[in-house]
Amino acid sequence: MTNSRIPGFYNLTLEERRAKLAEASNRTPEDLLPWTTGGISAESADHMIENVVGLHSLPLGIGLNFMVNGRDVLIPFAVEEPSVVAGASFMAKLARAGGGFTATTTEPLMIGQMQLINVVNMNEARLKIYEHKAELLAIADAIDPVLKKFGGGARDLEVRTIEESAIGPFLVLHLIYDVRDAMGANAVNTACEKLAPQIEAITGGKVHLRILSNLADRRIARVRCTIPVSELTVGFESFKGETVRDGIIAAYAFAASDPYRAATHNKGIMNGVDSVVIATGNDWRAIEAGAHAYAARNGKYTSLSTWGKDKDGNLVGTLEMPMAVGIVGGATKVHPAAQAAVKLMGIKTANELAEIIVSVGLAQNMAALRALATEGIQRGHMSLHARQVAIAAGASGELIEKVAAQMVAEKVVRSDRAEEILKAMESGK
Ligand code: MEV
């Protein structure tokens, strides 16, 4: 059993953290090795994409304190932005006091789209497709025996009519496919390509595009957490819990009603979501596309999360979004660091991963809103940013913290000042 609470983790050395992580997660140091080496060699990268010349690394940090559906989980974050890991871990600690995160998922249903053009009679074609639905589904169902073995396969076929477009009216077919623990793009695209000739024969039209939709609104992950109002003062003793709670709710109201704010609010959610999506080798562009399309599903771009209070005055947060992630194919399968991530979290299904990811998204969102609604984002952000500026100015070892601390104390976090402070410290002045 994993224990996601590791007090003082932040203050340990890299080596000590690795040892603590192995101990807290009941893993061997070898299980965590891909993170000490960066995961893949340039040679294996050469088989993944084109024109490879090397590798590009990101920091890998561990999100602490998370309890998702009653289970402790240590969560790997691959991200370059300071404050993300610390913010989510802190909020996960507050959420524990209210029972942690409660998450659910729909069945892992992806949508494959086929654009049917050059149809003489749209209604006739639409009904003919429905008449042949069973045989079309049977063809699509047979394309991936492995998926089928694990309970996946074609589930439904729907026909939509686009009445007005630059090329006039046309039909769109949606193939609904259960992809189980895969992200599903390959299975769905293959199935759509396979169905196209049959659909052309049935309707007399032409199947133009055949591709999955990233608006994966049949594959939704949902999460809820309750933060006891008393917890909201932790670390913010000068604020009343009710003030912090109402500040967070007012911040949410801003995002819910203004797309300019909603974009930034959702970006904060994606800081957490993408970090885990990347750490597990999943396609973060697909997740980003799905998230923002979903946020605009009612015709106006809005917040993916909600914040309010329960009958006892506690803060309640929710997040719902498409979550098309897999644990069996693609980079997740071939990248040793992604495998280490899946192993560390002890997950057996893609749905469990999706539930963890939305929990991180909600924690991250709360971290940002709590800071914004109280002392502002810059204070916490600045001390971490100052470390990066110190490193960029040439500081190493102990001097990183020292140079950063002095810049924060002076409230001047700039590379020229970092260089001056560093020079003075090195010369012992
Ligand atoms: C910065 O990466 C994310 C925030 O802007 C999110 C937000 O404003 O809610 C702090």
- State the Cα angle at 238 between 232 and 241, rounded to 5°: 25
Longest dimension (CA), the chain: 86
Regarding the beta carbon of 264 and ligand 1, being less than 6 Å apart is answered yes
Regarding the beta carbon of 378 and ligand 1, being less than 6 Å apart is answered no
Output the domain CATH number for residue 394. 1.10.8
Which ligand 1 atom is at minimum distance from the Cα of 377? 10
Q: Is 283 helix (H, G, I), strand (E, B) or coil?
A: coil
Domain check: are 86 and 230 in the same one?
A: yes
The yes-or-no answer on residue 267 being catalytic is yes
Domain that holds residue 347: 9-105+219-375
In the reported structure, the alpha carbon of residue 236 is separated from the centroid of ligand 1 by a whole-number distance in angstroms of 19
Pocket test for ligand 1, best of 81, 266, 372 (most atoms within 8 A of CB): 372
In the reported structure, the alpha carbon of residue 221 is separated from the centroid of ligand 1 by a whole-number distance in angstroms of 22
Enter the DSSP assignment of 11.
G
Q: For residue 304, is it within any domain? A: yes
Which ligand 1 atom is at minimum distance from the Cα of 84? 2
Q: For residue 329, is it within any domain? A: yes
**Protein residue whose Cα sits closest to atom 10 of ligand 1:** 368
pLDDT at 429: 61
Domain check: are 92 and 124 in the same one?
A: no
pLDDT at 388: 80
Output the domain CATH number for residue 200. 3.30.70.420
Of residues 46, 81, 200, 288, which has the active-site annotation? Answer: 81
Regarding the beta carbon of 265 and ligand 1, being less than 6 Å apart is answered yes
Output the domain CATH number for residue 301. 3.90.770.10
Domain end, chosen from 375, 397, 415, is at 375
Pocket test for ligand 1, best of 77, 83, 258, 264 (most atoms within 8 A of CB): 264
Q: Note the pTM of the prediction, 2 decimals.
A: 0.91
**Protein residue whose Cα sits closest to atom 1 of ligand 1:** 268
Domain check: are 83 and 223 in the same one?
A: yes
In the reported structure, the alpha carbon of residue 136 is separated from the centroid of ligand 1 by a whole-number distance in angstroms of 46
Enter the DSSP assignment of 112.
E
CA 375 – CA 390 distance, rounded (Å): 24
Do residues 124 and 254 lie in contact, with contact meaning Cβ atoms separated by under 8 Å?
A: no
pLDDT at 283: 96
In the reported structure, the alpha carbon of residue 367 is separated from the centroid of ligand 1 by a whole-number distance in angstroms of 9
Do residues 143 and 156 lie in contact, with contact meaning Cβ atoms separated by under 8 Å?
A: no
Best CA proximity match to 412, nearest among 382, 372, 384 = 382
The yes-or-no answer on residue 381 being catalytic is yes
pLDDT at 386: 85
Domain check: are 160 and 116 in the same one?
A: yes
Which ligand 1 atom is at minimum distance from the Cα of 369? 9
Q: Is 79 helix (H, G, I), strand (E, B) or coil?
A: coil
**Protein residue whose Cα sits closest to atom 9 of ligand 1:** 265
Which residues 6+ apart lie within 8 Å of 319 measured at CB? 222, 223, 269, 304, 305, 306, 358, 361, 362, 365
Which ligand 1 atom is at minimum distance from the Cα of 271? 2
pLDDT in tens, the chain (429 residues): 889 999 999 989 999 999 999 999 999 988 999 998 878 889 999 999 999 999 999 999 999 999 999 999 999 999 999 999 999 999 999 999 999 999 999 999 999 999 999 999 999 999 999 999 999 999 999 999 999 999 999 999 999 999 999 999 999 999 999 999 999 999 999 999 999 999 999 999 999 999 999 999 999 999 999 999 999 988 777 789 999 999 999 999 999 999 999 999 999 999 999 999 999 999 999 999 999 999 999 999 999 999 999 999 999 999 999 999 999 988 888 899 999 999 999 999 999 999 999 999 999 999 999 999 987 877 766 777 788 888 889 998 888 888 988 998 888 888 999 999 999 998 876
Domain check: are 265 and 141 in the same one?
A: no
Q: For residue 234, is it within any domain? A: yes
Domain check: are 166 and 249 in the same one?
A: no
pLDDT at 122: 97
Domain check: are 116 and 101 in the same one?
A: no
Domain check: are 149 and 69 in the same one?
A: no
The yes-or-no answer on residue 81 being catalytic is yes
In the reported structure, the alpha carbon of residue 178 is separated from the centroid of ligand 1 by a whole-number distance in angstroms of 34
pLDDT at 257: 98
Q: For residue 2, is it within any domain? A: no
Regarding the beta carbon of 268 and ligand 1, being less than 6 Å apart is answered yes
